[in-house]
């Protein structure tokens, strides 16, 4: 997973995985969430997803959690993961603002 930590840019997969686990979810539910929220534009294979989950867990951005009686491993976003999401939203808003300003200047 190639997240640009220095520049703050997340990959789209990373961003959506983090967003998906604001409520605890297991792997298949994460894949469904992402496919649904992107209207099928982003479809993750199991290998991609589980690689991402491992990487995000290693970074401390998500943690595994278990519910009583639950057999499937679920994941939940940490405070550090939420902070990363907030930074990405700010970065994306700045990116859109710059693009809009440039486009507006060129339409005048």
For residue 22, the domain's CATH number is 1.10.10.10
| 43 inside domain | yes
Alpha-carbon dihedral sign for residues 35, 38, 42, 47: negative
Beta bridge partners of 108: none
Residue with more model confidence, 5 or 55: 55
How many CA atoms lie less than 13 Å away from 16 in the CB half-sphere? 22
5-9, 15-19, 32-36, range with the lowest pLDDT: 5-9
Q: Which domain holds residue 48?
A: 12-107
Count of structural domains within the chain: 1
| 6 inside domain | no
pLDDT of residue 17: 97
| 37 inside domain | yes
- pLDDT above 70 coverage of the chain, percent: 89
| 16 inside domain | yes
| 48 inside domain | yes
> In terms of Cα–Cα distance, which of 76, 78, 59 is closest to 2?
59
Indicate whether 14 pLDDT > 80.
yes
- Average pLDDT across the chain, whole number: 90
| 7 inside domain | no
């Amino acid at each position: 997973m190639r997240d640009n930590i220095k520049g703050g840019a997340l990959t789209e997969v990373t961003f959506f995985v983090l967003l998906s686990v604001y409520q605890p979810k297991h792997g298949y539910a994460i894949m469904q969430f992402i496919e649904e929220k992107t209207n099928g534009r982003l479809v993750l294979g199991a290998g991609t997803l589980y690689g991402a989950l491992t990487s995000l867990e290693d970074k401390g951005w998500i943690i595994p959690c278990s519910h009583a009686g639950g057999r499937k491993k679920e994941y939940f976003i940490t405070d550090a993961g939420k902070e990363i999401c907030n930074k990405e939203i700010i970065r994306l808003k700045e990116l859109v603002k710059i693009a809009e300003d440039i486009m507006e200047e060129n339409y005048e």
